């Protein structure tokens, strides 16, 4: 698998503040690469360096195998990006906005071609509606259509789900999966919505105070062989005794108040839930504890 982004020793300092500190990572072709970190971690600064909006203090960025400093124009022609909220003209229609941004990229697309672009993001039926009538989620999808108008190989999205309602978030999630799995695009996405990143990302980079603290694919970071399940029940002691009479008893690792925590393989979870229901105890909730959120907080809480 070929590398699309290669970053080595990337550093950016603003006087006494080092926003990005000796950062190195690799993004492979056709993957969704999640870029995580708490506020102020250096995510936006890194993305702006990837798009050559600001220059690094030190370090090297190679995209498509080319040095960004030496081949800036050639590289940017193959990238589509949204930084925070997309800039759109609210008194123009979606198709007029798209035509305008296509022209800025040197493209003259007819109505049929523009409609195809809008249909890819689920906006074909609202092509002639003015942007002022769009929901925030629709604006985000149109922003992605603008980023895709020149058919880029790499798409960089900075907080694309920010401010969206649950339906809008689900729409963007579906679109990101479509871009990667169906269209073969490489997607580099920064987000603070950890549960969503867990669903869409193939690989993750977590930074804290400008430095890398974790990188790897989802399977490596969230080991499915050691899945932790927390059961909230009205009588943890009674449930512990019942489980102790089965093979599940050996998987109990703690009992604390009304919560019982177990560790098992991810593939065992459905069977455990089925047998738990058959025990007819009062169960108020079941959650997987080694989620991306748990892992993220364990790394950034100090």
Quick: pLDDT tens for 251-262: 888 888 888 888
pLDDT of residue 206: 86
- The confidence score (pLDDT) of residue 220 equals 65
The DSSP bridge pattern shows strands 32-36 and 203-208 to be parallel
* pTM of structure: 0.76
Compute CA distances 46 → 63, 80, 200, 251, whole Å: 14, 16, 21, 42
256-259 long-range Cβ contacts below 8 angstroms, 24+ apart: 258/232, 258/233, 258/234, 258/284, 259/230, 259/231, 259/232, 259/233
- Per-residue pLDDT, 74: 94
CA distance 244 to 255: 13
- For 60, the token pair is 């090297």
Query: Degrees (nearest 5) of the Cα angle 156, 162, 167?
Result: 105
pLDDT one digit per residue (tens) for the chain, 302 residues: 689 999 999 999 998 899 999 999 999 999 999 998 888 889 999 999 999 999 999 999 999 999 999 999 999 999 999 887 778 899 999 999 999 988 988 889 999 999 998 988 889 999 999 999 998 888 888 988 898 888 899 999 988 887 778 887 888 888 888 888 888 999 999 987 777 787 888 988 888 889 988 887 776 666 656 677 888 988 788 888 888 899 888 888 888 888 888 887 878 888 888 888 888 888 888 887 666 666 666 666 65
pLDDT at 3: 92
pLDDT for the residue 219 = 67
Structural domains of the chain sorted by starting position, each given as residue range(s) with its CATH number in brackets: 3-217 (3.40.50.300), 224-300 (3.30.70.80)
Residues 104-142 have pLDDT tens digits of 888 899 999 999 989 888 899 999 999 999 988 888 889
User: Which pLDDT belongs to residue 168?
Assistant: 79
């Amino acid at each position: 698998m070929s590398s699309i982004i290669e970053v080595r020793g990337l550093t950016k300092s603003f006087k006494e503040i080092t926003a990005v500190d000796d950062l190195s990572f690799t993004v492979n072709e056709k993957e969704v690469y999640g870029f995580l970190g708490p506020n102020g971690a250096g995510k936006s600064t890194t993305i702006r360096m990837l798009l050559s909006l600001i220059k690094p203090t030190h370090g090297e960025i190679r995209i498509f195998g080319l040095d960004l400093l030496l081949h800036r124009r050639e590289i940017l022609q193959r990238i589509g990006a949204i930084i925070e909220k997309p800039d759109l003209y609210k008194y123009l229609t979606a198709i007029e906005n798209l035509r305008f941004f296509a022209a800025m990229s040197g493209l003259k697309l007819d109505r049929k071609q523009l409609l195809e672009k809008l249909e890819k993001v689920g906006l074909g039926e609202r092509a002639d509606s003015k942007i002022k009538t769009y929901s925030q989620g629709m604006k985000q999808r149109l922003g992605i259509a603008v980023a895709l108008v020149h058919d880029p190989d790499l798409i960089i999205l900075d907080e694309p789900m920010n401010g969206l309602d649950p339906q809008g978030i689900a729409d963007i999630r579906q679109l990101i999966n479509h871009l990667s799995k169906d269209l073969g695009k490489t997607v580099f996405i920064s987000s603070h919505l950890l549960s969503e990143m867990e669903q869409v990302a193939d690989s993750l980079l977590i930074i804290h105070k400008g430095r890398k603290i974790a990188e790897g694919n989802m399977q490596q970071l969230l080991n499915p062989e050691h899945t932790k399940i927390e059961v909230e029940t009205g009588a943890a002691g009674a449930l512990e005794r019942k489980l102790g009479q089965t093979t599940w008893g050996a998987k109990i690792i703690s009992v604390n108040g009304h919560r019982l925590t177990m560790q098992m393989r991810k593939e065992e979870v459905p069977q455990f839930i089925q047998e738990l229901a058959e025990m007819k105890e009062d169960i108020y909730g079941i959650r997987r504890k080694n989620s991306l959120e748990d892992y993220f907080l364990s790394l950034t809480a100090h």
